């Protein structure tokens, strides 16, 4: 669409919706017209975009009729309700929720890994879980080079993964704790300040949480490896922004640490920060407000013949949500895959 896309943002007032607007402006996405949509209670809110003030509207079939493409930054229940409405009105949906990720016929896409899957959509393209996105960007280059047999991953997830309420609770907990007051927990299961909570989302089969199992099922679908063995542990940490992950890989073929470092150094979307002697390795503080996945502490897994271990950090609001969705949209536009 040489003259630009008619774009809708559903959930424009939320944290991910706001980040989408920021990323769209930074990347100079070719927009002919933009509609900012939200809950009827937020209709009338004013938002600045590219120097203009735009009034937020309620979601409606008419809004989707006016749009070529809609980026959804809302919860699963709302996506399930509204995405079919958009598709019925000939508007392609890129959805950030869990609603459609594991549905047959819905591509689940990380552009650095499986951009070719976009073309098979039937009106909805799913954006994966933030931790999954971060992991597959880092492990897919190793898989392509040496084949993966097993993945063990522990995530260290920032409170912003629980939205603004999570950020507010960490601030409040920290202040209360330092003032010798009771640190009350409303968003998280326990006090998050000065603590780690190995519990994100609800527990399910075999006492893995839903957050952990998303990483298993979504990784298999994105990378087209249905039998890949993955053992995840998801932990909430008292960090405001950007997730980190400790990843151990068992490969089919042997890869030296030097070979792995070289592969990762040329991989799309990856920045290698791997000089531990000089205290250089990925950290969430410095990954924040960027779009790359940072990989470091690359070393041999000494418990395996064909094992590698490394540490990654990335901004889960940007690459883990907003930026990944917009990268998908850029491919849709560039290849006219509406």
Could you tell me the two tokens for 122? 């039937």
243 is catalytic: yes
What single string gives the DSSP state of each residue in 183-209?
A: ---SSSSS--TT--B---S-B-GGG-B
130 is catalytic: yes
Please calculate the CA angle 183-200-174 and round it to the nearest 5 degrees.
20
Return the C-alpha torsion angle 282, 139, 167, 55, nearest 10: 110
- Give me the catalytic one of 91, 121, 143, 243: 243
User: CA distances (Å), 11 to each of 42, 64, 128, in order?
Assistant: 10, 14, 17
Handedness of CA 17, 107, 33, 26 (dihedral sign): positive
Nearest partner of 226 among 320, 108, 306, judged by Cα: 108
Helix locations, the chain, DSSP H? 15-26, 61-65, 76-88, 130-146, 164-178, 210-223, 257-265, 284-287, 323-334
- Give me the catalytic one of 130, 190, 199, 254: 130
d(CA 47, CA 55): 6
What single string gives the DSSP state of each residue in 86-138?
A: HHHTT-EEEE-SSTTTTSTT--B--TTT-GGGGGG-SSEEE---HHHHHHHHH
Contact 138, 218 (CB under 8 A): no
Residue 249, strand partner residues: 151, 308
The residues that are catalytic are 130, 243
């Amino acid at each position: 669409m040489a003259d630009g896309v008619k774009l809708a943002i559903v959930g424009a007032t939320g944290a991910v919706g706001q980040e989408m607007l920021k990323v769209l402006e930074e990347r100079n996405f070719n927009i002919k017209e933009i509609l900012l949509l939200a809950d009827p209670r937020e209709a009338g809110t004013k938002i600045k975009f590219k120097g203009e003030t735009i009034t937020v509207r309620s979601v409606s079939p008419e809004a989707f009729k006016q749009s070529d493409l809609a980026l959804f930054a809302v919860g699963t229940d709302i996506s399930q309700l509204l995405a079919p409405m958009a598709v019925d009105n000939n508007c392609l949906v890129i959805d950030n929720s869990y609603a459609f990720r594991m549905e047959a016929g819905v591509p689940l896409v990380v552009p650095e890994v499986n951009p070719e899957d976009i073309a098979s959509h039937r009106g909805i393209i799913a954006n994966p879980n933030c931790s999954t996105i971060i992991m597959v960007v880092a492990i897919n280059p190793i898989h392509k080079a040496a084949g993966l047999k097993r993945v063990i991953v522990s995530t260290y997830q920032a409170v912003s993964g629980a939205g603004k309420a999570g950020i507010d609770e960490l601030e409040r907990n920290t202040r209360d704790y330092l003032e010798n007051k009771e640190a009350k927990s409303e968003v998280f299961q326990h006090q998050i300040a000065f603590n780690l909570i190995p519990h994100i989302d609800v527990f399910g089969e075999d006492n893995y949480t839903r957050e952990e199992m998303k990483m298993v099922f979504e990784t298999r679908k994105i990378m087209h490896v249905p039998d890949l063995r993955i053992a995840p542990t998801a932990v909430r940490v008292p960090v405001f922004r950007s997730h980190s992950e400790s990843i151990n890989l068992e490969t089919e073929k042997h890869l030296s640490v030097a070979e792995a470092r070289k592969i990762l150094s040329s991989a799309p979307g990856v920045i290698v920060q791997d000089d531990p002697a000089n205290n250089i390795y990925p950290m969430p503080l410095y990954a924040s407000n960027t779009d790359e996945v940072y990989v470091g502490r690359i070393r041999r897994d000494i418990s395996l013949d064909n094992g590698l271990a490394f540490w990654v950090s990335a901004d889960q609001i940007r690459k883990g949500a907003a930026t990944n969705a917009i990268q998908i949209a850029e491919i849709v536009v560039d290849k006219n895959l509406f």
